[in-house]
Chain A
Amino acid sequence: MKNELLTVAEASARITAGDVMTVAGDTALLSQLPAGNWIGGSSVYFVTESGGAVIRDKVFCTTFEGTAGATVRTVSSDNLKSIAEGYKAGGFTVMLIPAFSGTHTKFAVDAPAMGSLFAQPLVGWISGVHLDELGSAKPTVYDGSTATAVEDGAVCLHIQLPAGSKVNTDIVNIFNQGHDAKTTFTFQEQGFSVTTAVVNGMEVNFAEYLTENNIDTRLPLVANYAGALVNVSVQAVDTDNGTVAFYAPVTPGVEYQLASPISDYAGTFASNLGDTGVGQYSCNCILNYLYGELEGKSTGTFTGPVTFGEIAYILLNQTLVKLDVQAA
């Protein structure tokens, strides 16, 4: 697997030569790429070897070398259960979804209970835009088989590996539960927005609770899924309407704790990631980029797009997703 920043001309030449790729970049660049074995998503924020950066004149390409086959496919929001129908034996799938689309919401809510998705590694991310262009620019994903933009749907790159190859995916969450282990949060309804939460067994207006307790909403709520720490990040606290919006849905029955504060994002990422990132696929969250002020700061050897949500089977927030392939 090879991660590179390429010009449109360089990426186009690779695609035309038959390379199997995921491409992240400005929509204006993605729209110039020819048809081929690729999927793409809009992002202008990247983690590079020298640190976080906004890049609008090149695209970030991950080339999957030595594959036994690859299929590009678009799945509509009402057919997400069919994602796994494209899985190739012993392989993996990379999937991109546009932020704020119906597919984004539906995948976030439905994926955890779609058992078929978990049969082999499924990674990817939610495409975004420059934060200065929120509301004016639209996040896009591209089905490279036809070189067309998809406004609402999931573009999938299903990859088959040669027999004997190994593929592994995992997440790196620099946040931990336990900032205040005695305070637990549960929610009665699933959704991206809530009015109430149950805090230590007592129902409260969650917006009021966060405000009155001066909670730092840059810290995610963290749930422990049998050892996998899964974040839900706060998007907005509306005290006028008494609502709290999230970047991923909260789930009833799941117990959340507020994450412990982190003083050194870049250093914490680097120490959690080690130096094994070269040749791995990864993406990291725009909230980590912003809150950790990662622009210009190196987080180690993992490079990739900075995204509006990460996918490792399910939608994640404030998390780095990584995927490693080992040849037979």
Chain B
Amino acid sequence: MSVPGSAQLEQILLSSSDLSKASLATRITVGRLRSEVAGDPSSLASKVAELTEFATQNDFAANDLANI
């Protein structure tokens, strides 16, 4: 499973959409990263990198994020 690109992950972190079909692990991780970006918008690039790493290391997360 390929990991979505940075632009798509950026959109995921900047939106407030529910990822109801995603695994609990992905929902909690994205939720945390979203709140961190909201609190410090300049951290967006580093949070996208963190989400990329999470999806790279976990196929289920890559699948979750690719199907949003």
> For the complex, what is the distance from the CA of A169 to the CA of B22, rounded to whole Å?
12
**CA–CA, A170 and B19, complex, Å:** 13
Closest beta carbon of chain B to A201's beta carbon, Å: 14
A253 near B28: Cβ-Cβ < 8 Å: no
CB contact under 8 A between A224 and B28, given known A115-B53, A119-B57, A119-B58: no
Interface pair B58/A118, CB less than 8 Å apart = yes
**Interface size class, chain B:** 20 to 34
Task: Assess whether B32 is in contact with A112, with CB atoms less than 8 Å apart.
Answer: yes
Chain B residues near A169: list those with CB within 8 A: 24
Instruction: Determine whether A227 belongs to the interface, using a CB cutoff of 8 Å to chain B.
Output: yes
- Is there contact, CB below 8 Å, between B36 and A118? no
Chain B residues whose C-beta falls within 8 Å of the C-beta of A230 in the assembled complex:
28, 31
Q: Which A residues are CB-close (under 8 A) to B50?
A: 115
- Bound complex: CA of A255 vs CA of B34, how far in Å? 11
Residues of A contacting B29 in the complex (Cβ-Cβ under 8 angstroms): 115, 118
Distance to closest chain A CB from B1 (angstroms) = 15
Which chain B residues (9-65) contact chain A, with CB distance < 8 Å? 17-20, 22-32, 34-36, 38-40, 50, 53-54, 57-58, 61
Task: State the CA gap A113–B32 with chains docked (Å).
Answer: 8
Contacts A118-B54, A253-B39; A227 near B32 (Cβ below 8 A): no
Q: Which residues of the partner chain A approach B54 to less than 8 Å between Cβ atoms?
A: 115, 118
Mark B residues whose CB is within 8 Å of A: 17-20, 22-32, 34-36, 38-40, 50, 53-54, 57-58, 61
The 4 tightest CB contacts between A and B, nearest first, are A225-B31, A253-B39, A227-B18, A228-B27
Add 14 more A-B contacts to A112-B32, A224-B31, A253-B38 (CB < 8 A): A113-B32, A118-B29, A118-B61, A168-B23, A171-B24, A225-B31, A226-B22, A227-B19, A227-B20, A227-B27, A228-B24, A228-B28, A252-B39, A314-B28
